[in-house]
Structure 1
């Protein structure tokens, strides 16, 4: 049986200091296509990515727009969406293919580990991983993956300035099982370290509550930017 190709799509914006190390973990993996989607970086992100011999395309800024553009360019059977400050686990490709072979599984993501020594973040990790499994609700920093056919069937990520991953998963849930792979991505702790664990967690929860109560994504995104937590 032919090994299914995985297209790893990485939306970036001013990530020159991180994108190189992320790509180093991917470029020598068999049957993996890497597409970096730049949203108008003002630093050396594009040149660093090109130096790793991966595909680089440019779009207007906005994670949903960037990820959809990457998916439109992708040729893989499986799409995996990776944040530029997140490292995939070893053998991620085998784990992804195995997860999607399970009956009724249409999508998946990884457990979350945060790259920080702060003790309070161990609790955040546990809560995130519990939420992901119990509610089948992983977020974008957990490297969501799915079959390309399923992605195109649901129309890709909704064109929202924020909460695009949340809404994307909600649209997937009625279609089948969302598997949480028992291996962790390692995501940067910069968000929590910059603003503090309590404030960062409170901001995240207020954004979700606002979305549920009908606050427009545009207003939520505007408020989110003011908190110093934008991409």
Structure 2
């Protein structure tokens, strides 16, 4: 988002959110490239699409050129002037409860004089947190999530993708999952839970050179189908 000198970029931290167990943690980097300072930068308390949002505090900055700090440090410093000076930037943290949905959170980023529409669109893999478990526990939990709770696909992999290291890298790039230790070289397992509801999400990749079988097990069937499609794309694309 860019408007009247104010630009905003967001990223998913893939860490537990300090503002609530059901919230996805985000970092928002705000920059002022305009000709004058921007005052009272804040965001609307609730998204127009219904998600709960934990707002960052109104930004307080020294008037020094290029000052860049996190909002937690700024709070500790008890600064007085609520303004973002020219050519300054700041990274702040916020939380959004996406309700285990990839529906975008739309809200307004406001200054003293203007309001700008912002849309944060999460990929399904960003709505997860890693889970640690043993191989035996993985197999046990996977056995509970069958039938409609299981989706799978067989893909043909390129030679450079047919390795456990490549599979692990591609899967965790797509989704915020934990890698489960495996006693079988041709089977890779991953586990996570949805941030909002804590529902278990299990992924296994069975390598059968040159093919692979991807299986996703979760009671969140829509999320499971979306995750399977993204994993298929990642594991068949040598460029990722």
Q: TM-score, normalised by structure 2?
A: 0.24
**Structure with the greater alpha carbon radius of gyration:** 2
Normalized per residue, the structure richer in strand is 2
Structure with higher helix content: 1
